[in-house]
Structure 1
Amino acid sequence: MNLKANFLNNKVCLNLLAKDIKNAKDIYDITDGHVLVGVLSKNYSSVEEAVADMEKYAENIDNCISIGLGGGDPKQWRMVADICKKIKPKHVNQVFTGVGYSRANLENDETIINSLVSPCGKVGFVKISTGPLSKDKEDGIIPIETAIAMIKDMGGSSIKYFPMEGLKYKEEYIAVCNACAKEDFILEPTGGIDLDNFKEIVEIPLKLGVEKVIPHVYTSIIDSKTKETKLKDVEKIYEIMKELTAE
């Protein structure tokens, strides 16, 4: 089974949601496989049910699935980690405190595990208290470089910077990009990304030397009635990706 994510020109790989397997397959085809399709653990009543359905997704899109928490819900961390015991996807979303447990359950080094850290109002620092208990305590705010080192210590692959609210925290985001470039670390900008700001949000880290970027684009391109990710919008985003990663 292929465990490595497919980055366009070795630089950018999309992370999108899909309503169902058909929607996921269409997204996969449009992006030539340069995508990780989020399947949310929160949508299932048990690990067994999630595994059975996620295996079907994996079969249809060359295992390009991203096991999701569901809105960054820290209560889902254990379910995500337990799903990892049964299937080995290309990508896993996890809160900061759940990374090590998830890597141990995966029993491989290839699957990308991100670690959710948040803007904190202070340039050069991030909030790492994103777990189910720590989120309710006084904010754990540390230097970005320290956060990256701790994520690496736990076996994590990337920073999921969430919630960004688009470019609201632009100066903080730039500092995160600089740190990821310096530490040779994957960056996953998430939250409030749409067709209007996608190019700038992805262009900033690429220009600053971040080698690999996984932008998460969710609600802004989902049809509110059908709940499907809109394929025309995926086409537009993919064209921007190709423009940004052109050699």
Structure 2
Amino acid sequence: MHQARETTGENPDLSTKVQNLKEKLDDQSKQLEQSAEKLSQLQSENTVLQDQNQALNAIGNKKRRFNTRIRPMRNLNTPNSGEGTTDTPPTSGEAGATREGTENSKIHYQEESDSDPEPGKEAPERAAATESSITAYLEQIFSKRFDPMQSMVERLPGVAPPIRRSNPDSYADTPFVEEIASIEMPRKFSFPSIKMYDGTGDPDDHIAQYKQRMLAVALPMESLEATMCKGFGSTLIGPALQ
């Protein structure tokens, strides 16, 4: 006991450093717990939004199913054709009224058929509008939740900066141009062993070695350049990722 007290008294800086490290460790643990809670909350919100999306799709399907409009039936003046019966010819007033009623029915039917929208065209447009509104709402929710978490991750040491989109209209985050991004890397190929570059040496020397090793790999000519570009990031580490 006496020796331990003497050691503590002789090294007050050491005990202070240990205490500071413990406090930092506690802070990191709290941040990890908060991140886990936020992730769980986002997952639950995503589940709720998926259920709402399925419900909206079901409602849209029901509306499309029962959206068929029943058109009015035309006026059919069919004479009786039974045997032993004689049709009495209509008088001039009755004939004019019948003809006028038939013409009015035709005009009314024509106006309704011209003004009624086609159900087949309404359903896809309504479904597309509903889907676009749901997509915009989901993007707004996820951007509000994801941006603070991304900024926290970017502040961690040794983490690469986020990839920016070279094409704003593209749905994928990629730093490559369309000619490189559209070509898929081979699923199975032997990646050459090369020393990781941490930003302290000559970058041109590292690039030259990387090209030399990749040219020795058996790859299809049409995907060689895209594979070299996409695989180069896996040879960087530490400050070289910034």
* TM norm structure 1: 0.20
Structure number with greater CO (CA < 8 Å, separation at least 6) is 1
* TM norm structure 2: 0.20
Greater strand share, structure number: 1
- Greater Rg, structure 1 or structure 2? 2
